[in-house]
Amino acid sequence: MGNGFDALSQATGDHTTTSAGPLISYPEGLEPTSTEVVSRTKVADGIICTLKIPQTNSKTLPNGQTYEQFGIPVKGGYINFHLFDRNKCAMRGKRVVVECEVWHKTMSDGREHIYVDLRPSDAQPTHDRKVWQDGTSVPTDLPVDTQVHMCLGGTKGVIAFLPL
């Protein structure tokens, strides 16, 4: 995972999983409380799309790395996006080509969420991003190679990446 997308997981010391299994575990006695992340699993990557970057909130990881966070509202919550780049503040209000990774995280109290990590890219877009607010209005005639990710828990939205 040398592409840096897992910086959020590694910097926070969260138990991180991939298809290869756990990467980081909590030491005995330091297990997370009810508001901490117990696992993160990458569910999609290699998606290149164009997004308009809205006003964002700057966040700082324990290792000092910063990222911009914004959310798209869906029924019951938000789909959060994390933009990692040194010039991230200059991107606010602009359309930017980004590489996307979709992650599933599980909290120690059992809540589950999906979120998307973004990094600017010089590649040509391969997908268009669509969000449906309630999860029930997703068209049934999406292109064959569409990547569809349902929100989890009490959040009812859907994010999909449609091939161009």
Assigned domain for 130 exists: no
Q: How far is CA 19 from CA 36, 63, 80, in A?
A: 22, 25, 22
Is 151 inside any structural domain? Answer: no
**Does 40 reside within a domain?**
yes
What token pair was written down for 164? 């161009």
CA 77 to the chain's CA centroid: 14
Structural domain contains residue 149: no
What's the DSSP call for residue 54?
-
Q: pLDDT tens for the chain, 164 residues: list them.
A: 333 333 333 333 333 333 333 333 444 554 445 568 899 999 999 999 999 988 878 888 788 888 889 999 999 889 999 999 888 778 888 999 999 999 999 988 888 889 999 999 999 999 999 999 988 889 989 999 999 999 988 888 999 999 99
Domain carrying residue 112: 7-125
Indicate the number of domains in the chain.
Answer: 1
pTM (2 decimals)? 0.77
Read off φ and ψ for residue 96, nearest 5 degrees: -135, 140
Give the number of other Cβ atoms within 10 Å of residue 42's Cβ: 18
